Amino acid sequence: MVDLDELFSLQSGVVSRRQALAAGLKPHDIRRLQRRREWATVHPAVYIRHTGPLTWVERAWAAVLAVEPAALTHASAIRAADGPGRSHDDGALIHVAVDRRRRALVAPEGVRIHHLADLSSKVLWNAAPPRVRLEHAVIDVAADGRDDLEAVATLAEAVQARRTTPVRLRAALASRSRIARRSLIDEVLNDLALGACSVLEREYLVRVERAHGLPAAARQVVDSGRGPLYRDVEYRDQAVIVELDGRLFHDNARARDRDLDRDLDAALTDRLTLRIGWGQVFGRPCSTAARIAMVLQKRGWSGECRSCPDCPT
């Protein structure tokens, strides 16, 4: 017989009617617990052992149990994998995945149901709550993003935060027979594997460097001048570093000082540091490429900056 106290402990105080009956309770026992306000109904046939506001984890368990067998997916699976330390919207919809063949389901309030082929092979059933493997969740969020930039941001953030790797994401993508934005996701994962670990880095690679025929740079280069650090982009033959600053402003004066120290350290080794932001990459990629090309040429590059389809004639 199922131990109800163990279930409550494992499931953050949430239990389904099926589980309660399997633990030996009778229907009248459940009604009595509700009348006494010891249990509250979260969704039809899903209960929680208090009457106050629900935490995100309690909401997640209730969503999974409401349509069991099911698992958290999309942004909810990423939230569960991250834990409470990262910034998430805990009031957002809870996303759950069920087997693709289960069609006659009504999503409870605050829950979105996704139908997934071969569900069992994509789920960590021993997680609490069960969740789709992180790589599949990231791929799904990227595929369902509002636009391509949001898809790129989802993939880049997952790799930059070291949640996963391009190799594991590519393996998940290869196992999916139907996925939106497959070509874009595959292309972005190729770029991330080369070291373009943020949206800004990836777009610099595509819009500035590749589009205008600049030499291929090294990326995420380890530099130990002041302890281990990573240079975003380095044109080694020309001793030029490009630091891509995706922040709209510095967190504080100390962060600004650290950046200036990095630039000074590079100068000590006769390397030139160029700081590039959102405006140069997204707003003025063509003029940015032309100016970087001139810097590289002055430092020995024999190539030419070529025009892209967006360059002014």
Q: Are residues 240 and 258 in the same domain?
A: yes
Q: Quick check: is 306 in a domain?
A: no
Q: Which one-letter DSSP state was computed for residue 146? A: S
From 155, 174, 193, the end of a domain falls on 193
Q: Are residues 122 and 8 in the same domain?
A: yes
Residue-range definition of the domain harbouring residue 162: 136-193
First to last CA, the chain: 77
Q: Quick check: is 308 in a domain?
A: no
CA distance linking residue 76 with residue 65, whole number of Å = 15
Question: What per-residue confidence (pLDDT) applies to 249?
Answer: 39
Question: What per-residue confidence (pLDDT) applies to 266?
Answer: 57
Q: Are residues 163 and 214 in the same domain?
A: no
Q: Quick check: is 303 in a domain?
A: no
Q: Are residues 20 and 128 in the same domain?
A: yes
If one counts the domains in the chain, the total is: 3
Q: Check if the beta carbon of residue 38 is closer than 8 Å to that of residue 4.
A: no
Q: Which one-letter DSSP state was computed for residue 210? A: I
Say what the pTM is.
Answer: 0.72
Question: What per-residue confidence (pLDDT) applies to 259?
Answer: 60
Question: What per-residue confidence (pLDDT) applies to 199?
Answer: 77
CA angle 78, 84, 202 (to 5 degrees): 45
Question: What per-residue confidence (pLDDT) applies to 89?
Answer: 81
Q: Are residues 127 and 8 in the same domain?
A: yes
From 132, 151, 167, the end of a domain falls on 132
CA distance linking residue 129 with residue 131, whole number of Å = 6
Question: Can you give the pLDDT of all 313 residues of the chain as single tens digits?
Answer: 678 889 999 999 999 999 999 999 999 999 999 999 999 999 999 999 999 999 999 999 999 999 999 999 999 999 999 887 677 788 899 999 999 999 888 999 999 999 999 999 999 999 999 999 999 999 999 999 988 878 888 998 898 888 999 999 999 999 998 899 998 899 889 878 877 777 788 889 999 999 999 999 988 777 755 555 667 899 999 999 998 875 533 445 555 556 656 666 656 567 898 988 877 888 789 999 999 999 999 999 999 999 999 898 7
